[in-house]
Amino acid sequence: MSTHTFSENLHNIRMSPIVSISEEVRKKATEYKSATGKDFILFQRGEIDFNTPQFIIDAAKRALDKGFTKYPKSGGEDIFKDAIIYKLDYSNHAKGFDRENIVCTDGGQEALELSFKLFEGKKGVGFAPCWSCVLENFVPYCATNFKQVPLEPDFSIDYDRLDKELEGAAFFYLNTPQNPTGKLFTKEEVTAIAELCLKHGAFLISDEAYEAIVFDNAKHFSPTSLEYDNIISTFTLSKSYAMTGWRLGYLVTRNKEITKILKLGNYTQTAGVTTFLQHAAAEALSNKTESEKAIANMVTEFQKRRDVFYDGLTKIEGMKVTKPAGGFYLFPNFSSFIPANLNTNDRKVYIYNLLFKEGVASVYGSCFGDYFIDNVRFSFSTTPISIIEEGLERMKTIFKRLA
Ligand SMILES: Cc1ncc(COP(=O)(O)O)c(C=O)c1O
């Protein structure tokens, strides 16, 4: 038997509870169906039920036919980077970038992991609730000393607390629109956060995975449009174009020292993003007409689902729910239904278990950090309106019983 010990950081990585929830549902679904005749309702997933738009699929096929099957250029193909520069301008109103400001990555996930890796072992700060992958994967992988600053119950910002916590921090992680709350941070909020980071000499790692999924004609405000060089913005094609399995993303910063380092980080990990897929990504970003059409089509459907879901939840007495302005999640608070005498561990899964018993899958709030443990995340990214309505019916029955 070898006496070697394995990497402590790798050992500390945990599988997101969302994955085990999905496995639990898979096991239970058949049993539930045969007992009740009803389908399990899958509100736990971050997958998308739209297909990738055909014009992007066609571009990938063309790139293959043209023989773009060799090793990619380090840090990203010119065609992809030029399309990113164009998209940053028309969509994010972010100007002044050239190819050396960009690193193309395997999804938003790699862009974020590389950004966290830059500050290995240092203090990082982020709002709670926080996307579970940050907490379970990036933080342990990069040995980040991560401090959570809770949002207020209505998801507004406690600037004093943020200011205090940023003391000595190397970076702040911001996700807008936010998973799991659906909060779209305003231009004023984003600017105030970026300036607080500047004050403390911290970088701002901005996760803009849901940038295109915004409702009621609101606009996502990208920190990249600010002319500060302490900002690293990470993007992905996964959500905007229903391309979760393609693994295409990129990071952008005005600080070229960062891209120089992260280009090597990216090369070390994967030697770059699959060449012909970069050509498809270039088409997705540069074909503005087709792209905007596909996004509008998807957002219109998500907005309808959001409206039905939100309206339904507000009709359940005792439910506290904030209307999401973006993303495809709702994050209601169930405090008034949870018995006061439960210990913390039981409290964390109380609502989740009640829902699960009635065939409704969700994600419990503690997956998103130390606060908001009385909340539960529902995703409407794979559930048509009829399923949302069925889920609401089941919830009404459960919570009427508890009221
Ligand atoms: C908040 C957030 N950021 C980033 C990502 C990364 O997405 P991908 O790696 O598919 O680009 C996700 C995916 O679910 C997410 O929820």
Report in angstroms the alpha-carbon separations of 142 from 9, 200, 231. Answer: 7, 21, 19
* Beta bridge partner(s), residue 330: 378
Give 333-391 pLDDT, tens digit per residue.
999 999 999 999 999 999 999 999 999 999 999 999 999 999 999 999 999 999 999 99
What is the percent of the chain where pLDDT is above 90? Answer: 92
Out of 22, 132, 133, give the residue to mutate to test ligand 1, the one with the largest number of ligand atoms within 8 Å of its CB: 133
Return d(Cα 232, Cα 241) in angstroms, integer.
22
287 and 299 both lie in a single domain: no
| Dist. CA 243 → ligand 1 center (Å) | 11
Q: 180 in ligand 1 pocket by Cβ < 6 Å?
A: no
Same domain (yes/no): 398, 302? yes
Q: Are residues 262 and 361 in the same domain?
A: no
Residue whose CA is at the smallest distance from ligand 1 atom 16:
179
Residue 2 lies in a domain: no
pLDDT at 275 over 80: yes
Count of CB atoms situated within 10 Å of the CB of 62 = 14
What are the tens digits of pLDDT across the range 377-389? 999 999 999 999 9
Strands 123-128 and 376-379: unpaired
Atom of ligand 1 nearest to the CA of 234: 4
Residue 73 region, left (φ>0) first, then alpha (ψ -120 to 50), else beta?
Answer: beta
Ligand 1 contact via 362 beta carbon (within 6 Å): no
CB count in 10 Å sphere of residue 15: 10
Q: Which residue's CA is the closest to the ligand 1 atom numbered 15?
A: 209
Q: Give the strand order in the sheet containing 376-379.
A: 329-330, 376-379, 363-364
175 lines ligand 1 (CB under 6 A): yes
Which pLDDT band holds residue 194 (cuts at 50, 70, 90)? Answer: very high
Residue 246 is predicted with a pLDDT of: 98
Average pLDDT over residues 310-337: 96
Structure confidence at residue 2 (pLDDT)? 72
Q: Convert the pLDDT of each residue in 13-58 to its tens digit.
A: 988 888 889 889 989 999 999 999 999 999 998 899 999 999 999 9
Same domain as 173, residue 230: yes
Strands 123-128 and 171-175: parallel
Q: Give yes or no for residue 52 CB within 6 A of ligand 1.
A: no
Q: Please state, rounded to an integer, the average pLDDT across all residues of the chain.
A: 96
C-beta 137 within 6 A of ligand 1: no
Q: Do 168 and 206 fall into the same domain? A: yes
Asked whether residue 64 falls in the same domain as residue 206, the answer is yes
Please tell me the residue having the least CA distance from ligand 1 atom 2.
Answer: 209
Last residue of some domain: 291, 318, 340? 291
Can you give the CATH number for the domain in which 31 is found?
3.90.1150.10
Beta bridge partners of 174: 206
Instruction: State yes or no: pLDDT of 80 exceeds 70.
Output: yes
Which of residues 291, 308, 326 is at a domain's end?
291
111, part of any domain: yes
Mean pLDDT of 224-242: 97
CATH number at residue 246: 3.40.640.10
Q: Does one domain contain both 285 and 302?
A: no
Question: Which of the listed residues 270, 291, 312 is the one where a domain comes to its end?
Answer: 291
Q: How many CB atoms lie within 10 A of CB 68?
A: 19
Considering the domain architecture, whether residues 222 and 258 belong to the same structural domain is answered as yes
Best mutation site among 19, 45, 220, 236 for ligand 1 pocket (most ligand atoms within 8 Å of CB): 236
Best of 52, 131, 208, 328 for a ligand 1 pocket test (most atoms within 8 Å of beta carbon): 131
Q: Is any ligand 1 atom within 6 A of the Cβ of residue 131?
A: yes
Q: What is the 3-state secondary structure (H, E, C) of 160-203?
A: HHHHHHCCCCCEEEEECCCCCCCCCCCHHHHHHHHHHHHHCCCE
DSSP 54-79: HHHHHHHHHHHHTT--SPPPTT--HH
Q: How many domains does the chain have?
A: 2
Tokens describing residue 180: 């799991």
* Centre of ligand 1 from the C-alpha of residue 69, in Å: 26
The pLDDT of residue 19 is 86
Q: Is residue 3 one of the residues assigned to a domain? A: no
284 and 301 assigned to the same domain: no
Task: Mark whether 306 and 218 lie in a shared domain.
Answer: no
Domain of residue 113: give its range.
54-291
Residue nearest to atom 12 of ligand 1 (CA): 209
110, two tokens: 């790699």
**Given the CA of residue 175, which atom of ligand 1 is nearest to it?**
1
End-to-end CA distance of the chain: 58
Please count the CA atoms within 13 angstroms of the CA of 292 that sit on its side-chain side.
6
CA of 49 from ligand 1 middle (Å) equals 16
**Is residue 5 over pLDDT 70?**
yes
Cβ(179) to ligand 1 under 6 A? yes
Rounded distance between C-alpha atoms, residue 228 and residue 371, angstroms = 31
Residue 249 Cα to ligand 1 midpoint, Å, equals 10
On whether both 246 and 328 belong to a single domain, the answer is: no
> 218 lies in a domain?
yes
Mean pLDDT, residues 271-299 taken together: 97
1 confidence band (pLDDT: 50, 70, 90): low
Same domain, 102 and 195: yes
CA of 177 to the centre of ligand 1 (A): 11
Structure tokens at 232: 């690293």
Provide the 10 A C-beta neighbour count for residue 250. Answer: 29
